[in-house]
Every structure is written in structure tokens, then in C-alpha cells.
Structure 1
Amino acid sequence: MNPTEHTPLAEAPFEGKTQEGHASLNQWLAVFTAILACCGAIINYQGSLVFRKALEAKNDAILKKAHATDLWNYYQAVSTKQHIMELAMLIAPQSASEGFKQKLQKYQSQKKELEEKARQLDEASEKANELSEKLTHPHRRLEQALTLVEIAIAVTSVAALTQKRWLLWLAGASAAGSLVLWGMAFWV
């Protein structure tokens, strides 16, 4: 066969195989890197999802707390009006006190309603804060797992350049640590 002629693909030897027919180190590193990249993408997606849920819960807590604060401020305003009515009843003549009594009762009932609603919102805010904290824990673990995946990919790249097999084991240890942290994010 003339050296300028091309051999058909079916006859070309598989590049990357050793003489014994085993896959070369570079092939193993390429497959390992692809697996790591897929795991990293999944971990990143889960981390983003958990973080978004934590932020939503924190925003919900803040909104409910702000609304509760508004109600407590209104409660104080109604309480001030009630005290003014009580003072007016003491100062005003007996004939005018009936109108003051009606307003006084109105303010007392308003205060009860406002207090109940404000307490409910305070409790709901606390629950949303607890949920946010609960979701923050898995997010931290997922960030740590993603960092170990990135380290494993970097070490795998160095292993491909230097052809040092022990670096593949180091990358594998980093990947294993990542898997442990990934699992701990949801089950611990």
C-alpha cells in the first residue's frame, strides 16, 4: 500500500489502545472527566435549586415580618386612640360619654383583632426563617461537593498531561469525597 493512500476506517487500528488491547490512561482519564463533569452539573443544579428555595423562604419571612410590624404599628395607633378616649371620658361631661364608650369598645375590639393577626404573622415569619435555615445546610454541603468535583477534574487534567497514574487515584479520592458530601447534603 502506498503511504499516501488512506486506509478505510474499518481497517484503521483503534488509536489509544495499548499493544495488549487495553484502554490507555488517557482514555480512562477522558471517561472519568466526563463522568465528573456530569456529576458536577447535577450538583450545581441541585445547589442552585436549594439556594433559590432558601432565598424564597427568607424573602417570605421578611415580608411576613414587615407586615406584622405594620400591624403592630397600627395596634399602637389604635391603643393611643383608646387612651385618648379614656381620657376624654374622664374630662367630658356625663352626657357626652356614651359616644366615647362606643368608640372605646370599637378600639378594644380592633386591638384584639390586630394583635391576633400580628402574632400569626410573627409565627409564620419564624417558620419561614426556620425553613430557610434548614435549606441553607444542604446548600453548603452541595457547594463543598462541587468544589471537590472541580478539584478532581483539575487533577485529572494534570494526570493526562503528566501520565502519572497516582494522580488518577488522587482525583478518584477527591471525587469520592464529593460523593460523600453530596449524599450528606440530603441524608444527614
Structure 2
Amino acid sequence: MSGHGFHVHGPHDHELEHAAHGNDDFASKIAVMTAIMATVGALFGYEGGATQNDAAMFKNESAIKKTEASNQWNFYQSKSSKQNLAELAMVIPGADVAKYKADVERYKSEKEKIKKDAEALEEESKTWEHKSEAALHQHHRWAQAMTAVQIAISLAAITLLTKKKWLQYASYGVAGVGVVLAGLAALHI
């Protein structure tokens, strides 16, 4: 507890303080690269969140269009029922056959337009669904890129503590993988 005049430093605390206040060129390079990687990771995270939101909005739009198509199919079904009733009424003795025949033709005509509208809404729903899937795939790429950068930052911290040159290169390599994944996300691949 440092508030009571007693504080215990861990070995890594001492190393970090020494690196921060010393003229260690190795530590300075790692610190700068870590800051750059953190900034790049934040940008990747932002893009990942934006594409996730897009995917959700597109999925919602798809559901709305699917509901509208369902409503049209219900309307189509009600016209079919009315058409069937008019066809039955034509065979009732004494019924006004001409009137019911005109009703049947009107219902057939109305059903064709309703059917086209329902089919168009179904296609629109599919288009929004495909957009959602594409945005979700892009989101996954951004998330992979951000994860790679976070791993690179962790490796950089370990590099700073161990002063192992190979870990420095491993950190840069993993960060490079993150940049490649971000490039794939940006290109929608």
C-alpha cells in the first residue's frame, strides 16, 4: 500500500520504470511500435463495430421485407378465397352468373398484381440478407485483424520485459498478419 509508506515493486514494475526513464533505444522502439499498433488496433476495432452494425441493420431490413411479402401472400390468399366463393356462387341455381363471372375475373387480375408485389418483396428480402451476410463476413475479418494486433501488442510487452530480439520480430510479424487481414476486410474478401 503506497499510501502508508510501504510499496512492493514486482520485477516487471522495475523493468518498466527503468525502460521508461532510461535511454534504452530498444525499449524506445518497442514503445513506439506498441503505440502505433494500439492506434491501428483501435481503427480496426472501429471498422469491426461499424460493419457489425451494418450487418444487423441489413438483417433487420431483410426481416421487414419478408414480413411485407408475407402480408402480400396473405392478401393473395384472401383474394383466392373470394375467387373460389364467386366460382361456387356461379353454379347456384338462379344466381347472377355474369356478376360472379366478372368478380372471378377481377379477383384473378388483382391476384396477379399482388403475386408480383409479393415476389418482388421476397427478392428484396434476399438482397438485404446477402448484404447482411457480406457485412458480417467483413466484420469477422476486422475482428481477426484487431485480434492479431492485440496479440502483437502483448508480444511487444513480453519483448520489452525479456529483451528478446526474436520476440520483437514475432510481434511485428503478427502485426503484419493483422494488417493483411484488415486489407482483406477493406477489399471485402
**TM-score under structure 2 length normalisation:** 0.83
Query: How do residues 15-34 of structure 1 correspond to structure 2 at under 5 angstroms?
Result: 15-18=21-24, 24-34=25-35
Q: Which runs of 5+ in 2 are unaligned?
A: 1-19
Go from structure 1 to structure 2 and tell me whether the alpha carbon gap of 1:35 and 1:161 turns closer, same or farther (over 3 Å shift): same
More helix by percentage = 2
| CA distance in structure 1 between the partners assigned to 2:109 and 2:182 by the alignment | 53
Which residue in the other structure is 1:134 paired with? 134
The CA deviation at 1:26 is: 1.7
- Identity, in percent, stands at 35
The CA deviation at 1:110 is: 1.9
Secondary structure of the residue aligned to 1:37 is helix
Q: Deviations over 1:34-74 (max 9, x none)?
A: 10110011001111111111111111111101110111012
Contact 1:25 1:165 in 2 (8 A): no
C-alpha RMSD of the superposition: 1.7
The CA deviation at 1:32 is: 0.9
| CA distance in structure 1 between the partners assigned to 2:43 and 2:29 by the alignment | 21
Q: Which runs of 5+ in 1 are unaligned?
A: 1-13, 19-23
Which residue in the other structure is 1:176 paired with? 176
The number of residue pairs the alignment matches comes to 169
Rg larger for: 1
| CA distance in structure 2 between the partners assigned to 1:41 and 1:30 by the alignment | 17
After the TM superposition, list the runs of 4 or more consecutive aligned residues in structure 1 that deviate by more than 6 angstroms.
none
Which residue in the other structure is 2:146 paired with? 146
Letter in 2 for 1:138: Q
Q: Deviations over 1:77-135 (max 9, x none)?
A: 110110111011111414x2233233323322221221111011011111111111222
